[in-house]
Amino acid sequence: MRRHILPSGQKLLGQSALAYRSILLQALIAFMFAITLKVLPLQAQEQDIVGSSGENAFLILQTNLQPPYQQLQDGILRGYSITVLNCAFDRIEVGYGIAIAPRQRNREMVRNGQADGFFLARISSFMDEYAEPTLPLALEKWVWISAAGQQGSFASSPTPDSLLSVGAILGSNEAEWLAEQGYQEIAKAPSINSLISQVLAGRVEYALVDKQTFEAARDSMGNHEAQFNVQFERYAPLVVYIGREYTRLNPGLIASLNTALGACETLPMQLEGWERDLITRQQLPAIRAMAANAELVGAVRSAMGGAQIQPDAIVEIDREWRQGSEGGIASPKATEILEDPLSDILRAFQESDADNIAEIFVFDTSGVVIGMNRLTTDFDQSDEQKFEVAIGHDPDLSQIADIYFDGSTRAFLSQVTVPIINPETGDVIAAMTVGLDVSGALRPDS
């Protein structure tokens, strides 16, 4: 069976799999419009992880075109968000269809029960009233853009009480957020191209846009980056919202989908130069101070005092650890480590700066985790780049990784890794990784 994408304007009113399939077939005949993607077997809808009967599990998701996250290429909907959804629905083996319509209409269709879900959406208290969010699929970087020749200072973002004109795309996540923040007289353009044109023409002084979407549209329009000022505002996680009527009939789906999303590969978002500088100036000194804490160093040495784990045993422990962590369950070895005094110290560090730090864990020079504030995704770190910090001989070495979504913490993180030093010898004895939650750590006022 195939998963189909319906044209804009096609309404989906049925609430069972048979009704959905009938609607899909009618749409394909009436419009002769079909975009086929890989589909998941309907018989899998009967699986217990969904928590419902097979006829209720199939669902229709509304979306809109949003390059580069999702766009039509040769008549097929492709993009990063579609790849992640394919992976997640593959894992839980539930069939689904996608209908394309304007963003505002998509929300209304979910609210009115005419569709089962909508993506890509930001976390919204308004949508929470009639739908439930999944874990994030992607992370948008919102920036203010203005014409490069514009008068005035661009040292700070426009504020709600300023006299500056601001704009966003009609019905967009950014437009909703601006209204919630109290911005008045928001200019709402029908498309990103139209909004860019209004900025260049001076009709809108500042526009709030997703950076990747802006850059893709700017380049397609033949404009140059030198024509714009660009300033970071905030990160915005994007989710799938599933209607509450659907979750009432299928109470286990969101939990299963979240587990699958945590296991699906996500693309890292590259840190910009100013972001690395900010972490280096404001976060790295505090992280180094943690790693040099005498109580922590003593706990690390105690945790490393037992017999060394053999390579074959590491492989088996890591396999069991990963299998359990996918469902949020600590394996026996993970439980042992979580109960170690070192982990208590790491939890205290994390709780002291919870707005910025999502996770802290320590691994030794063989790459295995010996302490953690919470369950990590895996036990063996030796196959990851940060392992170089543990086996290096440079006490000043550090590593700042690009942003990625971490399923174990359910946050977008930039991992900062520093060595732990034996103060008596100056030798590197382990490494500590701190997962910075970028929604807090990279705020403009952080």
Residue ranges per structural domain of the chain: 3-137+238-263, 140-236, 273-441
| pLDDT, averaged across the chain | 84
For the ranges 17-21, 208-212, 257-261, 326-330, the lowest mean pLDDT is seen at 17-21
CA distances from 388 to 52, 195, 384, 441 (A): 47, 46, 8, 24
Least-confidence region, from 127-131, 270-274, 280-284, 373-377: 270-274
pLDDT (0 to 100) of residue 439: 75
47 against 406, higher pLDDT: 406
Q: Does domain 3-137+238-263 have CATH number 3.40.190.10?
A: yes
Is the Cβ–Cβ distance between 379 and 344 less than 8 Å?
no
Mean pLDDT throughout 94-122? 92
Question: Do 61 and 119 meet the contact criterion of CB atoms below 8 Å apart?
Answer: yes
Is residue 334's pLDDT more than 80? yes
Return the CATH architecture of domain 140-236: 3-Layer(aba) Sandwich (3.40)
416-433: average pLDDT: 96
| Identical fold between 3-137+238-263 and 273-441 | no
CATH fold of the domain at 273-441: Beta-Lactamase (3.30.450)
The secondary element (H helix, E strand) that includes residue 414 is strand 411-421
332: CB partners within 8 A, 6+ apart: 320
Distance CA 317, CA 314 (A): 5
Q: Nearest CA to 238 among 375, 400, 82, 116?
A: 82
Give yes or no for a contact between 240 and 127, defined as CB atoms under 8 angstroms apart.
no
For helices 294-303 and 341-352, the axis angle rounded to 10 degrees is 150
More confident residue, 252 or 346: 346
pLDDT at 383 over 50: yes
Q: What are phi and psi of 347, to 5 degrees?
A: -65, -40
pLDDT digits (tens, 9 = 90+) for 278-293: 999 999 999 999 999 9
pLDDT band at 311 (very low <50, low <70, confident <90, very high): very high
- Residues of the chain with pLDDT > 70, as a percent, come to 83
Q: Which residue has the tokens 């997962």?
A: 435
Q: How far apart are CA 203 and CA 424, in angstroms?
A: 65
Give the DSSP letter of residue 171. Answer: T
Tell me the three state secondary structure of residue 202: coil
Residue 394's DSSP bridge partners are none
Handedness of CA 441, 164, 142, 64 (dihedral sign): positive
Give residues with Cβ within 8 angstroms of 120, minimum separation 6: 63, 66, 69, 70, 81, 137, 138, 173, 238, 239, 240
Mean pLDDT of 134-146: 89
Mean pLDDT, rounded, for 143-168? 81
Q: DSSP characters for 257-322?
A: HHHHHHHS--PPBPPPHHHHHHIIIIIHHHHHHHHT-HHHHHHHHHHT-SPPPPHHHHHHHHHHHH
Instruction: Check residue 74 and give its pLDDT.
Output: 86
pLDDT higher at 272 or 240: 240
Instruction: Report the candidate in 41, 38, 40, 30 with the shortest Cα–Cα distance to residue 6.
Output: 30
Instruction: Give the span between the Cα atoms of 24 and 21, in whole angstroms.
Output: 5
What pLDDT, on a 0 to 100 scale, did the predictor assign at position 438? 86
In the chain, % of residues over pLDDT 90? 58
The pLDDT score that the predictor gives to residue 40 is: 35
Q: Given a cut of 50, is residue 36 above it in pLDDT?
A: no
* pLDDT over threshold 70, residue 160: yes
**b or e along 209-244 (b: 16 or more beta carbons within 10 Å of the residue's beta carbon)?**
bbbbbbbbbbeeeeeeeeebebebbbbbbbbbbbbb
Distances (CA, A) of 5 to 11, 83, 166: 12, 15, 34
Whether residue 139 is predicted with pLDDT greater than 80 in this model: the reply is yes
pLDDT of residue 153: 46
Question: Looking at the DSSP assignment, which residues form a beta bridge with residue 138?
Answer: 238
| Residue 267: per-residue pLDDT | 66
Band (pLDDT 50/70/90 cuts) for residue 409 is low
Give burial (CB, 10 Å; 0-12/13-18/19+) of 131: buried
Mean pLDDT for 25-36 is 35
